[in-house]
Amino acid sequence: MPPEPFPSRAEGGAALVLTVEERGRETVVSLAGPLNVATEAGAWRPLREVLSRRPAVPSRLTLDLKGLTALDLNGSAQILAALEEAEKSGRQAALTGLPASLEAIFSLARGAMREPLPPAPPRVSFWEETGRSAMTLVRDLRALTFFLGELTAEFLRLVIRPWRFNWRGVAVAAERSGIDAVPIVALVSFLVGLIIAFQAAMITKIFGAEIYVATLVGVSVVRELGPLIAAIVLAGRSGSAFSAELGAMRVAEEIDALTTMGLSPVRELALPRVLAQVLTAPVVSLIACFVGVFGGSLVLLGLGYTAITYWSMAVENVSLATFLIGFFKSFVFGFTVGAVGCQRGLAAGDGPGAVGEATTSGVVTNIVVIAILDSLFAVVFYVVGV
C-alpha cells in the first residue's frame, strides 16, 4: 500500500509530514519535519486512527523518526505516549531512525516519564491537627510575651533617656497610622451609628419610645462601639502596614543589618510605631464616637425629633465613667494594634510569601486579641459595677 502523507504546518512556516504505510502486519509511521510545541494537534490524527483500530492478529507499529529536524520535550512526550498506547492495544511498538542530535532531549523526556510520581502526603488526623494548632498557639503566645518584655524594657530606657530617642519617627508614624486613618474610621462609625439607631427605632417605635434611641446610641457608641470600630479599622489599616513594612525589612535582611550594627530593632523600628499608635488611637476613637452619635441623630431627625432633643438625651446619659471606660479601651487597643503588628513583622520568615503571611497573621491576631480584650473588659466592668 503506498504511503499517505499528512502535512501539518507549524509556527514559522515549518511543516510536520506524517506518512502512514501498511506493510502486511506492520504499520510504519514516518515523521519528517519539526515536532515541537508549535506543531498542530491535527498532525497526529492519522496515527490516532491507526491506534484506534484493534488488530485481529498480532501486529507491529514502527515509528520512523529519521526525518525529524527538531524535537522538544513536548514532542518527545507525544511519541512516548503513542508507543504506550500502541502496546496497550496489543501491538508491538518500536521506534527507529532517531537522529543522534535529538537523542539527548528524547532520553531526558523518557527518563522523566519513567520516574514514579511522589506519594500522596499522609492524611492528617483530627487530633494531630488539633495538636499542631495548640503548639502553634503556644509558640505565638511565647513570641508575643518575649516581644512585650523587650518592648517594655525599651520603653523604660526611653523614660530614663528621652533625648536619645528618634521622636521624628514617632511623628511620621503618627501621621500615617492615625491622622490618615480618620476618614475611613469616621465613615465606618457613621454607618454603624446610623444602622444601630435605625434598628433600635424599629423596636422602640412599637412602644412609642423612639427618643430613647438617643440614649442607646450615645452610651453604646462611647462605651463600646467607638473604641472597638476604631481599633478594628486601625488593625486592618495601620497594623497591617506595620507588619508589611517590618516584614519586608526582614526579608531584605535590613533587620539583621541593624542587629549587626549593635542597634535594637525593637527600639529603632517597633517602639516609634507603637508609641504613635498609642497616642493617636484615643483621638481617632473620640472622632469615631462623635461621628457615630451624629449618624444616629439622622434617624431621630427623620422621625420628627429636633437635634437639640437628640443631643441632650445622648449626652445626658453618658457619664464620666462611661467616657473614661471608652477612653481607656482606646489606649489599650492602640497599644495592641501597634505591638502585634510590629511583632508579626519582625518575626516574618524568608521567601517571597513571608510578607503576605506576616501581614495576614498580624491582622487576624489583632482582631482576635481585640475581641478577647473587649470581652474581658465587659465582664470586669460589669463585676465592678461601672
Note down pLDDT in tens along the chain; length 386 residues.
444 444 444 444 467 777 777 777 777 877 788 888 777 767 777 777 777 776 656 677 788 888 888 888 888 888 888 778 777 777 777 888 888 888 888 888 877 777 776 777 788 788 888 888 889 888 888 888 888 888 888 888 888 888 878 788 888 888 888 888 889 999 999 999 999 988 888 888 888 778 888 888 888 888 888 899 999 999 988 888 888 888 888 888 888 888 888 888 888 888 899 999 999 999 999 999 999 999 888 888 888 888 888 888 888 888 888 889 989 999 999 999 999 999 888 888 777 788 888 888 889 999 999 999 999 998 998 888 77
Look up residue 60 and give its three cell numbers. Answer: 507491529
CATH top class, domain 4-114: alpha beta
> What phi and psi, each to the nearest 5 degrees, are found at residue 87?
-65, -35
Q: What is the pLDDT of residue 8?
A: 47
CB contact set of 113 (below 8 Å; sequence gap of 6+): 77, 80
Q: What is the pLDDT of residue 97?
A: 81
Q: What is the pLDDT of residue 57?
A: 60
Total-model pTM: 0.69
Task: Look at the alpha carbons of 221, 227, 232, 237 in this order and tell me if their dihedral is positive or negative.
Answer: positive
Q: What is the pLDDT of residue 55?
A: 65
Q: Which candidate, 199, 222, 197, 227, places its Cα nearest to that of 310? A: 197
What is the C-alpha to C-alpha distance for residues 61 and 23, in angstroms, rounded to an integer?
Answer: 10
Residue recorded with cell 466592668: 381
Q: What is the pLDDT of residue 332?
A: 92
Q: What is the pLDDT of residue 329?
A: 92
Q: What is the pLDDT of residue 2?
A: 47
Q: What is the pLDDT of residue 56?
A: 56
Q: What is the pLDDT of residue 186?
A: 92
Q: What is the pLDDT of residue 381?
A: 87
Inter-helix orientation angle 126-160/320-346, to 10°: 110
Residue recorded with cell 530593632: 265
* CA Rg value for the chain: 36
What is the C-alpha to C-alpha distance for residues 34 and 32, in angstroms, rounded to an integer?
Answer: 7
Question: Where along the chain do its domains lie?
Answer: 4-114, 143-384
